[in-house]
Structure 1
Amino acid sequence: RSLLSVFTAVEAGAADYGVVPIENSIEGGVGETYDLLLSSGLRVVGEVYVRVVHCLIGLEGAELSDIRRVYSHPQALAQCRAYITMMGFEPVSTYDTAGAVKLVKEMGDRSNAAIASERAATIYGMKVLAKGIEDYGRNYTRFLVMGREALGTPRRPKTSVIFSVPHRAGALFRALEPFAVREINLTKIESRPTRARPWQYYFFVDFEGDSRDERVREALAELASRTLFLKVLGTYESGRIEAEE
């Protein structure tokens, strides 16, 4: 029912793997996931890109004109902001998209609807009132696969790390310089507040390469010497966005 519960289940051995959203191509990073990556002992063992097609889902017998309130995860509500505004709906945040469909069904009020996938509507026996309501058609969410141990040797490796740097001029440049001089391509950089001190940040970085390769090991060793904190989250198979039909 929550991102924390996914991490907890895998850490406790109740699940072998967990899948959590890390970023959306429209709305950006999922802050809660970044915070959990920092505190968890789990490893990133894979990634998946999923095309997002949002549907407006209501009770059987409901019509579009009946809807007054729409329930969904905050990210989904944000991704459909223009549609929600145009229709004059009241947005209500819930813990996830499929859970919003379940909630709307349980409430049994035709003035309520959920934003979720068409599959969620099928699972809960609900009616799709409108399809493709996201603000931008090329909408993808990247998910990380979390596990207790790494999964073999990837063919197209990507590595994720977290680090913090001293609060002084040029510190971030110096931290990333070892990657530049070795021509290691960075594919993502995201900052999150440390929460310990105002206006200081952790940096989450993804790059192409395997943490076990000599060139990458050298870069990580230099990074460690230039940072206050470094955590390697894992090396895994780089995901792909499938060609659109």
Structure 2
Amino acid sequence: MKGRVAFQGAMGAYSQAAIWKFLGRDTECLPCATFEELFHAVLDGRATHALLPVENSTTGSVHPAYDLLLEHPLFIQRELILRIEHALLAAPNTSLERIRRVTSHPQALAQCEGYIRRHGWEAVTAYDTAGAAGQLAESRDPETAVIASEIAAQLYGLQVLDRSIQDWAENYTRFFLLGMQPAPYTSQAKTTVVFATAHVPGALYHCLGEFASRNLNLTRIESRPDRKQPWHYLFYVDVEGHSADSPLRAALQALAAHTTFLRILGSYPAALPGS
């Protein structure tokens, strides 16, 4: 892929693994310390795209990601679904018996919670899986292990003590590829919208009915607090179809009459796990 893709984390993060797998190893990557920074990297021209993790099949939504989608004028151009296989990494010549603690991003620790508990290790949070690997490569602490990708092990010269340590084998993370322009039309699309309703009985029921009455399948719905109005909520919905297709276009036009706020975050090619 031409251009530069911003992602949160250090080189060797799972976001980079997704970029390499789906966009090609020749894609230039821009590591960012925070989700907020990767949005600004696109907006100020340092990157052409951003890759944002939004959901894991084991631990659920990445809530800050959805909040930031609303706050910035980027479009979802594509979804990517990467199978996550966690590895246990340690400094060279370290044995499993010496490990006393394991460090990683909170999502990775949660996805391996049972494995960590069975070994009786202390779980220590880090801002990023690959960043934790880089720190261990510097410290060489023989009592600390890291949960990260095998790509991180290669980049930072760590040994792999164990593989596929996630609690659930079918462990996937969903990413959005973001850009300044909407994605080109595709018939095999999914659309993400966010809306708010008035605080009246049946408001959400009537909104969702506009999709149901047109036989449109919702693949996801989630509420998030509206930070501007306490105890009011925003609803994020994924629906099969493109916003330019007549059934969904009609549903969105009707939805506008039931909402106090409505925004289409993008219509984009739908993905299957590992595709």
Bucket of the pairwise TM-score, normalised by the shorter protein: over 0.9
Q: Distance in 2 between matches of 1:123 and 1:154?
A: 37
Name the structure 1 match of 2:209.
Answer: 177
- Of the candidates 28, 42, 48, which is equivalent to residue 10 of structure 1? 42
Q: Distance in 1 between matches of 2:263 and 2:241?
A: 16
Q: Distance in 1 between matches of 2:146 and 2:98?
A: 13
Q: Distance in 2 between matches of 1:202 and 1:99?
A: 33
Name the structure 2 match of 1:219.
Answer: 251
The one-letter amino acid of 1:92's match is V
Name the structure 2 match of 1:62.
Answer: 94
- Give the secondary-structure state (helix, strand or coil) at the position aligned to 2:175: strand
Name the structure 2 match of 1:77.
Answer: 109
Q: Quote how far apart the aligned CAs of 1:200 are.
A: 2.5
Name the structure 1 match of 2:64.
Answer: 32
Name the structure 1 match of 2:9.
Answer: none
Q: Distance in 2 between matches of 1:158 and 1:194?
A: 24
Q: Quote how far apart the aligned CAs of 1:151 are.
A: 2.6
Kept after mapping to 1: 8 A contact 2:54/2:61 = yes
Q: Distance in 2 between matches of 1:211 and 1:155?
A: 10
Kept after mapping to 1: 8 A contact 2:183/2:266 = no
Q: Quote how far apart the aligned CAs of 1:196 are.
A: 3.4
Name the structure 2 match of 1:152.
Answer: 184
- Give the secondary-structure state (helix, strand or coil) at the position aligned to 1:228: strand
Q: Distance in 2 between matches of 1:26 and 1:80?
A: 10
Name the structure 1 match of 2:269.
Answer: 237
Q: Distance in 1 between matches of 2:227 and 2:139?
A: 38
Q: Quote how far apart the aligned CAs of 1:6 are.
A: 1.3
Structure 1, unmatched stretches of 5+, are none
Name the structure 2 match of 1:86.
Answer: 118
1:120 and 2:162 correspond: no
Name the structure 2 match of 1:96.
Answer: 128
Structure 2, unmatched stretches of 5+, are 1-32
- Give the secondary-structure state (helix, strand or coil) at the position aligned to 2:267: strand
Q: Distance in 1 between matches of 2:127 and 2:216?
A: 37
- Of the candidates 160, 170, 174, which is equivalent to residue 138 of structure 1? 170
The one-letter amino acid of 1:180's match is A
Q: Distance in 2 between matches of 1:131 and 1:17?
A: 31
Q: Distance in 1 between matches of 2:114 and 2:274?
A: 27
- Give the secondary-structure state (helix, strand or coil) at the position aligned to 1:177: helix
Return the structure number with greater relative CO, CA threshold 8 A, min gap 6: 1
Q: Distance in 2 between matches of 1:154 and 1:122?
A: 37
The one-letter amino acid of 2:182's match is A
Q: Distance in 2 between matches of 1:29 and 1:36?
A: 13
The one-letter amino acid of 2:67's match is D
Name the structure 2 match of 1:228.
Answer: 260
The one-letter amino acid of 2:257's match is S
Kept after mapping to 1: 8 A contact 2:76/2:183 = no
Q: Distance in 1 between matches of 2:116 and 2:146?
A: 11
Which ranges of 4 or more aligned residues in structure 1 deviate by more than 6 Å?
none
* Partner deviation per Cα, 1:63-120 (whole Å, 9 max, x = no partner): 1112122111111110000111111211121222111111211222111111111111
Q: Distance in 2 between matches of 1:155 and 1:56?
A: 41
Name the structure 2 match of 1:204.
Answer: 236
1:42 and 2:47 correspond: no
TM-score between both structures, scaled by the size of structure 2: 0.85
